[in-house]
Each structure stands twice: as C-alpha cells, then as structure tokens.
A = this chain, B = another copy of it.
Amino acid sequence: MAKVAFLLAKNYEDSEMKVPYEAVKEAGHETTIVGLEKGAVCEGKKGTVSYTTEVAVADVNGNDFDAVIIPGGSAPEALRVNEDVVRFTKELNSQNKLIAGICHGPQVMISADVLKGKTATSFIGIRDDLKLAGAEYKDEEVVVSENIVTSRTPKDEPAFVREILAKLS
C-alpha cells in the first residue's frame, strides 16, 4: 500500500480534506497529515472537521512518501509561502510521485513550479495563475496529467478521489 501525505493548514475547505482522507484510509493506504508545524490543530473553514498535523513539513522529504494530497480553501496560500512545502513538493515531483490538489490546492503546485507542460484544473478564480505557471487549463471535474491530478470544487470530489485511488493502486 502507498504512503500518502496530506498537506494541511487551518481554514482548508472541510470536505476537500475529509472526503479524500477517509477514502484513502479506507482503501488501506498509510496516511500522514503534514503541516507547517507538528501538533497543530487545524479546523476547516466551515468548522465541521478538525485534524491535527502529525509531522512538520521541515522534517519530511520526497523519499518518505508516494503521494501528496492538497485540499483547497485558504490553507494553500499559507502553505505555498513556506520553503519546505515548496521543497517537499518539488522532491515528490522529481520522483514522478502523485501530487493531487483540488480547488485552491494547485496554488502550492504553482509555487513549487511543477505545472509546466502539464494540463490541470482548479477553482476557476485561480485559473489565470495556473496558465501563467505553464499549465494548459481545462474546465473538467478532474484532470490527470502524468503525476498531477487536479479538480475544481467540492462537487468534483468523487472524480478526484477516483483518480487518486487509481494512481495509488
């Protein structure tokens, strides 16, 4: 089974964490919640769920995991300005490992410069940023482009989860 990191900070979109997290766990994969620091209690922006980070991103590297999943909301803007988040994402990408993001999650991919030459989607409000980062933008429920999997909104979660599980199997 795969080792899957969830990259989290407070104010993520609740269901974009909960739904993939439970599905990946249920499929038998090993999950780790990675944050800006260890032991940080992270509530979703809607306040319906809360998760505690298990390890600081400064203490992980691309060899430790097979994949990273990045929920949306406001969390990606807090994560993407952290040098270790960028380093960790680049390391996974250089090993061609799965990087999956939904809604604003792809903002981390922009900062890590892993979208050049890929096709991708996101919340429409950051569409132009993905294009400037070198992605070909598609308005589809899920876009799979080599190791990059992206979706637009909570409504796309079933398709997002389906493609993540397919990549991990």
Instruction: Choose from B81, B107, B125 the contact partner of A81 (Cβ within 8 Å).
Output: B125
Counting chain B CB atoms within 10 Å of each CB, which of A111, A125, A126 scores highest? A125
Could you tell me the dominant secondary structure of chain A's interface residues?
A: helix
Residues of B within 8 Å of A124, CB to CB, are 81
Q: Taking the complex as formed, is A77 at the interface, i.e. its CB lies under 8 A from any CB of chain B?
A: yes
Q: Which parts of A46-71 form the interface with B (CB within 8 Å)?
A: none
Residues of B within 8 Å of A76, CB to CB, are 125
Residues of B within 8 Å of A77, CB to CB, are 123, 125-126
Chain A 127-159: CB-based contact to B (< 8 A → 1; otherwise 0): 111001100000000000000000000000000
Chain A residues with a Cβ under 8 A of chain B? 74, 76-78, 80-81, 107, 110-111, 123-129, 132-133
Instruction: Choose from B74, B111, B123, B125 the contact partner of A128 (Cβ within 8 Å).
Output: B111
- The complex places the Cα of A160 from the Cα of B59 at a distance, in Å, of 39
Of all chain B residues, the one with the shortest Cβ separation from A126 is B77
Residues of B within 8 Å of A78, CB to CB, are 125
Of all chain B residues, the one with the shortest Cβ separation from A123 is B77
Of all chain B residues, the one with the shortest Cβ separation from A129 is B129
Residues of B within 8 Å of A107, CB to CB, are 125, 129
Of all chain B residues, the one with the shortest Cβ separation from A125 is B77
Residues of B within 8 Å of A110, CB to CB, are 128-129, 132
Instruction: Choose from B80, B125, B127 the contact partner of A125 (Cβ within 8 Å).
Output: B80
